[in-house]
Amino acid sequence: MNSSRLMKLLGLIAGVAVLDIVILSPGLLGVEIGGGSPLETASGVTLLVISFLVLLYGSYALLFKPPVLAPVKNMKSHEDYIAALNHYRNAKGLKKDIALALDQLDRIEKKKTTLSDVLGQRFDQAELSYKKFHSVIDAVEQLFYLNIRGILNKLSVFDASEFSTFTSEKKLTQFSNKLVQEKTALNNEYLASVTGYLGANEEILLKLDKLLLEISQLDSTDYQNIEDMPCMKEMDALIKQTKFYKQ
């Protein structure tokens, strides 16, 4: 359970406890169980039953009920993508892919922090060089998250467990070889697309590592322009290529 759900559960428990104390304390509202009128006793017992049911349902909703996923197009924050991928982390046949995607999300955040620290040490934020580096890093980061969106879009329309059921020994005997081949080819196409997005993001992470190394070597390497740095050229080409395909 993540920290957000834990805090909500603790808040729910605290809220129900405070409400019960306020209503059942003799010195406050005066509702007593067993010591007052039958109506007060019934009201007190009803309150406790309702409190128990609220806690029971709230605990289920927060501990076991899967969160409602926001549409992929509405995802904006790093946490949104993590939550969405976690929703699929136990998908049959895709566990390793989802684990890698989550690991990539963790790594890009760390690389961004490291790059920001290094740039802050070498350049003033008002310098043109600093702004050029940051603009390229931001653009490549957008490509990274576009690939994560691509993975999530595939996961939202493809059920790996359905294919696993289809290919069970008993099921295969019910269908023609042609149907089995076509179904298998479609499954492989989906898996290949997910692998492709992961590979593209791994390449982006590698380029960020190269950029970090080149920035650390600026004192010993003479570049007339930042755009002449090999890794900056690679990133710029990647950005332009992606814009071309999106048109």
How far, in whole angstroms, is CA 4 from its chain's centroid? 14
How far, in whole angstroms, is CA 114 from its chain's centroid? 21
What does each C-alpha distance from 91 to 9, 87, 119 come to in angstroms? 27, 9, 40
pLDDT mean across residues, the chain = 78
Q: How confident is the model at residue 148 (pLDDT cuts 50, 70, 90)?
A: very high
pLDDT in tens, 66-91: 555 566 777 788 888 998 898 888 87
pLDDT of res. 207: 92
| Selected residue with higher pLDDT from 18 and 202 | 202
**pLDDT of 187 higher than 90:** no
For residue 227 the two structure tokens come to 């755009």
Question: Residue range 62-69: average pLDDT?
Answer: 60
Tell me 223's DSSP state.
-
Would you mind telling me the total number of residues written for the chain in this entry? 247
CB contact at 8 A, 154 and 73: no
* SS3 of 60-104: HHHHCCCCCCCCHHHCCCHHHHHHHHHHCCCCCCCHHHHHHHHHH
pLDDT of res. 245: 44
**pLDDT of 146 higher than 80:** yes
Question: Residue range 189-218: average pLDDT?
Answer: 89
In three-state secondary structure terms, 229 is coil
